[in-house]
Structure 1
């Protein structure tokens, strides 16, 4: 359902924006003074005039030219805060519109589970029990939270967002003048707090900060939403297919990279891995203990007034609670006993942790979360047997669901490292052990033979006193820390090890040997077994094309196949959206990913294993972003199979998961798309698939060549990029915990994908989200109207093609080549500037033209009224941030390298990332 509504229906949104913007304006005047307020207002009015073509951009630029840096910073802060408040207003408006549709009895909206259930009901005739059971075996939906340099907001800012959101909801529900006045004064207080809170930290984020930032989403939303959502989906599916063994494990299970991902981040070490795991464990235990304390207060039922089961009586009697006041309150005594055992568990797992609501005394710890869950099941069964199911289905049900999902570990911590590092470490270990000192010179066949031989024996390659290089000692230390976490907290704490830039079977086997070295892999009747699955990450265009061959060759190695069999025949493969895009451009990367999935699905089917894909999506379209529901439905047949993992990064995490209503909607969209992709035919091509694939093969190659001509073959392109974008400053400023490049070079290949995309986004070119597509399509169509008609037909029928063009239109709508020209002016070499920026502007025009030809729309936002409304509301407030950033970059590069200039640039980066929403 497209949210096409009359202008009157959007008036509440405009009212909210005016209200919040007006309060912010008063705060700016009161706190920063009349001159600053006047500068902000002048910039705002001029920006609106620019959008109405009533004045030139140079006018706004001139207003900032001679203003002291100290006076520019509060202006940047003001527009950054407005972007944040506009986001809240838009989220509330979407919430308001959905509620109106529900009350009006409209059909449920796509991406909602209600709509998905209706689609499944319509397809029930062909969805028998065996089909559903097979499709949803190993079902999993796992959003994996990752650290990201564009997400630098403080915890206080999140608290203000939450408070303002709740106040605006209250305001919507009341007409009482007194309460409205109270709410508005509270809004003023919170927005004042926001203004007086520094948006940016003084020091570069530490990994410990990033760990805490990732964990905050559990208290903010996941603990509340995930158990309830899992229970609902399980109940709905089992009511439709009561004989199907569906969702024996929780469906939604979040994960994390923060503290385990060391690819290109030298700051991750053994201590960081331990810290990440311990803080996650403490977060889970703190939640469970808090809920148990609340449950103990609530379950006051007396044995004199209710019937209990024998198992509940036994559990209460074993609690050791001899308080006379509780003598006839078996549920309280039972819960107190559970709290006592969980307290003991916490002391065993985290001896130094300060956890709330603990129970003193000597108690036997729970050996596993499953034993804790079993005790909670006893309470649940007794309540239901006593006619109190309504009580069992409240806090207790949520706690049982939380223990089932989060256990003692909270979320699996993924380990990740680059294959090149593994190769160097293995070579040094083999040399130390006297196996060979020529490992790195060996051909692939000999490497595989040597590595598989090592996987057949238990011997270690090192001793505790081995004299190793700093890099190898660090890597082994990290892996030993991971092994200690698994032994202490349990195998669920670390389940995956991802190999970046994986290109060969030896890349996979090297990590297996390293896992064996630290005790995370052992032999079972002569074959290796491990609770940690090694996952290849195929990133570049060439690696994606060869991914299926690499997987097939690995599965042909008995030792590797044994490891897959030990995971119930399931092998996960990760697909890299970022480096593939940086390597070949938007269309080529998207098609390489689709082709890779088709090939991987076929390879897995032929090998008799089950495939799970892990999508390394970023926030922006250039890194795989865009609406998750549409992206999942755009996967090829067989690519989802009931389960997927995907990364959640940057300011997108806050946009999706900062509070329960948002988290519920976004997790529901992931689940809805997963179910539909697994159980329904969503590709829609049928027998026409081979022809469609051939067309995309051709288009993708043309797009790749067009992209390469600019990015890889244009002399001076790197100089243009580093000058006409703030990429150099991204590395120089205190943004995120990892360097901007994997290596200290100026090579595009070595630059991390996040700074590559972020830089083009800040400068409003958005190049990674579209460049090359216009040339490819216009060349392929030529003067042949039949070819245009073919693409128009594919757009109507094929979710993949529709999603690619829709996401491209979304990102191009956020581009602004007029503002981009201001950044291009930073390039002093006139010939270089005109050559590169001329190519960009020409390709932009071509791409808009072919988009409108294929879709039949007359603008980039014609099919997306919500985006059009958002752009209309916020772009005049983005305009000043871009002009401020360009002015501050000029000063910084001219030698004004002061803390204030640096801070100003960083504030503009943060403000633009926030307002553009999916920028990293």
Structure 2
């Protein structure tokens, strides 16, 4: 009999649903429970049996709800979405463990599979792979964006529930233990129900920093060292000669939180300073706690375990003079290290750690000194027959110090090129009136900027007054310089220029860095990477030309030498999608990467691509493994950074084991892509020409609807929750760059998020159906066969269609039609929604034709199962949200209705998982 592998998942979902139902009955009464249960049963019946009667009854019930009933229903189904997510994550962990226990072959995306694949290909051997990682960089970068609808208190409750489910799964419990475990789960669900889902005040940047830091304590500080150890052990098992080899710190977590100023006036020098100190506190607290535990473990007496001279010297320098530890040199050494680190804590953070040292000591000058002392412990244990003791807590701590230093995570600085331009223009005009920088053409600007970069003379003077904007920008860079001196140069490594149009945008930033001492012309020193961000379709098309002109400047090439002849380029997925649609954005990114690879190779510069991917497909999201493997040849040269945004951070890294899996995926894909044998056969020209034709047609269809249809802007604002999202306390940045409702000014994040909420998902598919129809009309004989071949043989095209498959499966035009009914202009509503419905039908038909699937997601049974499990609980939220929007817009301000709308936004986002 075949084992039903999904039975434990269904059991967990039923258990959590029953506990939630019991909680609702106890807290809200039997009538509320009965109402919610009727809604649940009808929704499940409709989804399972496609029962129109069930749908009509469901809609009748939902439309007749009172305000109080509406809030109860929204809360119940929102919390169920959260609980279903927990159950799914636990099932992924369960299945992964089952594969490992059974000794199954390594799965795609695992480190083991990546190492085996690379070695089997003959691209390198184990020693070569270790050497390759010396210059590699894999970095997920956490960003705070206005789609993170989760409160940290809710995340804390969910962490408890996940832990309890995991314990039930792994342990064989006695009847009493099982009852106690069930009771603990019941308490956890009750706590979740009684915890406020929404914030009462708008999030500050420091709140966002604090939220981001929680993932370090939960996941990164523990799981990154374990991942390094696993990879080292895998390589050693392959080549015993590598025993003792320690890999370079190639995998690191970055952050934008506290440094991203683009459109966020609340990110100031003071906020950056605070973010840096908060990060340092998390790192140092972790090290101190680990040292305290390590001291209790390394209890060896000198009479039974030898110690090196260096270790004995370290013990001798320890301020710990307790006679009880006089013959325990390792404990004394750890006590001394702890005292020095506690002193470092005081120096960096201006207060004492929670647990004091035994006595005062000299602080460390930098994290390297701490690492050296831990290495002394390691080497002494190795040399004296205690190698096993080096592989536990000490190994994890040594790796953590090398990865996280005293700064925890590098904070990127980001600002819009328009701001840099205004600041540089003011500095030049104040220093030399009549310069009129902004009136100059590109050549004139570059000439003036290069002149400034050739001299060490500063432009700004402490004796002159500048605008608040200029003072604020200069203060940020001076704060970055202080951070380098305080925490080390790893604290801030990158300065990113949004809306990069030309070479002058990069040179303007270089001039501002010079003002703060981060660029020193006489030393030809550059302390941070200058990173252009190409965002729109036009920017992506011009990217290679801009970099070609930049690399032709001798001054810049000299500065680049200080950065190891490596140049980072960031590509924007969100704005290019909003600008040109899903298909054209993906194609423009692919072409830009290929062109950049060629330009960089010609100039002898190493390329590091930074992918500004969001969680949703409309913002470049989708499975990271496939996305990295689908990059053009040479685009991933062992170095890749990518953003982790919004609620996706919680989904990927809130659970330590799920987080470890996601980190493995990034490393595995980077290794496989960078070290795969050169493709003997380039992508066929027919594929490239076809893709260009599809892109042109999709672009035309998308622009025609979004930018050229009169009234579309009004349709968008009336048929989605964009107005309510703009008012929700889910981020420190405004939803639009300017005070307008124009699509051009709207941030890409709430644009995508709004379309997800109403289940249209337009940014993830619109235009593809029209493009395929046009192509097949022009190639009636062999067109479909060519598209099918592209899907089979070209990973880029296959990944595009796979992501679109996921988005289309999460869309629901029947539900979307109810949102369309909110548009007051009937003619406008019918015209635009009619076009959306027709394009949706054409796109689904085209996708199924090309992939050969009978239904959406036939090729992704795991996601298909997930949707089957969760959507009966998601659809009622959409129906209620529509009714709440109608009441809110017709009857004005009612706090309860507004509260219900916001809870429904939270629940729908949780149910969709990658909506923003």
TM-score by length of 2: 0.97
Contact 2:722 2:751 in 1 (8 A): yes
Q: Would the alpha carbon gap of residues 163 and 785 (structure 1) be closer, same or farther in structure 2, given more than 3 Å must change? A: farther
Structure-to-structure mapping, 1:501-580, within 5 angstroms = 501-525=499-523, 527=524, 529-580=525-576
Determine if contact 2:121/2:677 at 8 Å carries over to the other structure: no
- 1:156 corresponds in structure 2 to 153
How far off is 1:481 after superposition? 1.9
Supply the distance in 2 between the matched residues of 1:919 and 1:650 (Cα, whole angstroms). Answer: 9
How far apart are the structure 2 equivalents of 1:817 and 1:610? Answer: 46
Once the two structures are TM-superposed, the CA of residue 234 in structure 1 deviates from its matched residue by 3.9
1:460-479 alignment, distance < 5 Å? 460-479=458-477
Please say if 1:203 is aligned against 2:201. yes
Select which of 700, 704, 713 maps to 1:705. 700
Per-residue CA deviation, residues 619-657 of structure 1 (Å, 9 max, x unaligned), is 001101111111110111111111111100122111111
Contact kept in structure 2, 1:269 and 1:474, CA below 8 Å: yes
Unpaired runs of 5+ residues, structure 1, are none
Distance across 2 between alignment mates of 1:511 and 1:360: 47
Counterpart-to-counterpart distance in 2, 1:293 and 1:504 = 53
**CA distance, structure 2, for counterparts of residue 98 and residue 129 of structure 1:** 25
Decide which of 765, 785, 790 is 2:760's aligned counterpart: 765
Q: Which runs of 5+ in 2 are unaligned?
A: none
Q: How do 1:377-526 residues align onto structure 2 when only pairs under 5 Å count? A: 377-434=375-432, 436-525=434-523
Equivalent position SS for 1:686: coil
Specify whether residues 463 and 687 from structure 1 end up closer, same or farther in structure 2 by C-alpha distance, changes over 3 A only. Answer: closer
Query: CA–CA distance in 2 between the matches of 1:300 and 1:688?
Result: 62
Alignment equivalent of 2:844, drawn from 838, 841, 848: 848
CA contact (8 A) 1:17 1:89 kept: yes
Q: Deviations over 1:249-296 (max 9, x none)?
A: 212100000010011111111111111111001111111111111111
User: What is the 5 A alignment of 1:331-350?
Assistant: 331-350=330-349
Task: Answer yes or no: is the 8 Å Cα contact 1:136–1:643 preserved in 2.
Answer: no
Alignment of 1:290-329 (within 5 A): 290-329=289-328
Aligned partners of 2:284 and 2:406 also within 8 Å = yes
How much has 1:320 moved relative to structure 2?
A: 2.2
By how many angstroms is 1:56 displaced?
A: 6.0
Q: Which residue of 2 aligns with 1:641?
A: 637
Residue in 1 aligned with 2:143?
146
Partner of 1:895: 891
Match of 2:901 in 1: 905
How far apart are 1:745 and its partner, in Å?
Answer: 1.5
Q: How far 1:6 moved relative to its partner?
A: 6.6
Distance 1:106 1:228, change over 3 A: closer
**What's the offset of the Cα at 1:28?**
0.8
* Corresponding residue of 1:719: 714
- What does 1:486-885 correspond to in 2, within 5 Å? 486-525=484-523, 527=524, 529-681=525-677, 686-782=681-777, 784-885=780-881
Alpha-carbon distance in structure 2 between the residues aligned to 1:102 and 1:128: 25
Q: Quick one: distance in 2 between partners of 1:71 and 1:150? A: 27
With normalisation by structure 1, the TM-score equals: 0.96
Q: Is the 8 A contact 1:570 1:612 kept in 2?
A: yes
CA positional deviation for 1:406: 0.3
Task: Report the CA distance between 1:477 and its aligned residue.
Answer: 1.9
Cα distance in 1 between the residues matched to 2:876 and 2:342: 54
- Aligned equivalents of 1:248, 1:85: Cα separation in 2: 39
2: CA distance between counterparts of 1:129 and 1:861? Answer: 38
- Cα deviation for residue 128 of structure 1 reads 5.8
3-state SS of paired residue (1:615): strand
* Structure 1 contact 685–797 (Cα < 8 Å) conserved: no
- Greater CA drift, 238-247 or 735-744: 238-247
Q: Distance in 2 between matches of 1:902 and 1:492?
A: 44
- Asked if structure 2 preserves the Cα contact closer than 8 Å seen for 1:273 and 1:481, the reply is yes
Is the contact made by 2:119 and 2:126 (CA closer than 8 Å) also made in structure 1?
no
Give the conservation status (yes or no) of the 8 Å contact 1:622–1:768: yes
The answer to whether structure 1 residue 127 and structure 2 residue 120 are counterparts is no
C-alpha distance 234-693 of structure 1, shift in aligned 2 (>3 A): farther
Give how far 1:244 is off.
Answer: 14
Deviation string, structure 1 residues 277-330 (Cα, Å, up to 9, x no partner): 110011111111111111111111000111111110011001122110110000
Are the aligned partners of 1:537 and 1:576 in contact in 2 as well (CA < 8 Å)?
yes
Give the Cα separation in 2 of the matches to 1:364 and 1:453. 45
Provide closer, same or farther for how the CA distance between residues 132 and 166 of structure 1 changes in structure 2, counting only shifts above 3 A. closer
Q: Is 1:280 equivalent to 2:276 in the alignment?
A: no
Whole-Å separation in 1 of the counterparts to 2:141 and 2:394: 27
User: Partners in 1 of 2:282 and 2:127 — Cα distance?
Assistant: 39
Note closer, same or farther for the CA distance 1:832–1:681 as it changes in structure 2 (3 Å cut).
farther
Structure 1 residues 780-833: Cα deviation after superposition (integer angstroms, max 9, x where no partner): 122524221112112111111111100000011000000000000000111111
Is 1:703–1:776's contact at 8 Å kept on the other side of the alignment?
yes
State how many pairs are aligned: 911
Shift of 1:360: 5.6
1:413 and 1:99 map into 2 onto residues whose CA distance is 35
Deviations 1:533-572 (A, max 9, x none): 1100000011001101111111111222122111111100
Q: CA deviation at 1:132?
A: 4.9
Shift of 1:57: 4.2
- Cα-to-partner distance string for 1:123-144 (whole Å, 9 max, x where unaligned): 13x4268975785452111110
Pick which of 130-139 and 141-150 moved more. 130-139
| SS of match in other structure, 1:230 | helix
Q: Is the 8 A contact 2:531 2:569 kept in 1?
A: yes
Q: Answer whether contact 2:262 2:414 (CA < 8 A) is retained.
A: yes
Q: Is the 8 A contact 2:768 2:843 kept in 1?
A: yes
Sort the Cα spacing of 1:176 and 1:244 in 2 relative to 1 into closer, same or farther, 3 A. Answer: closer
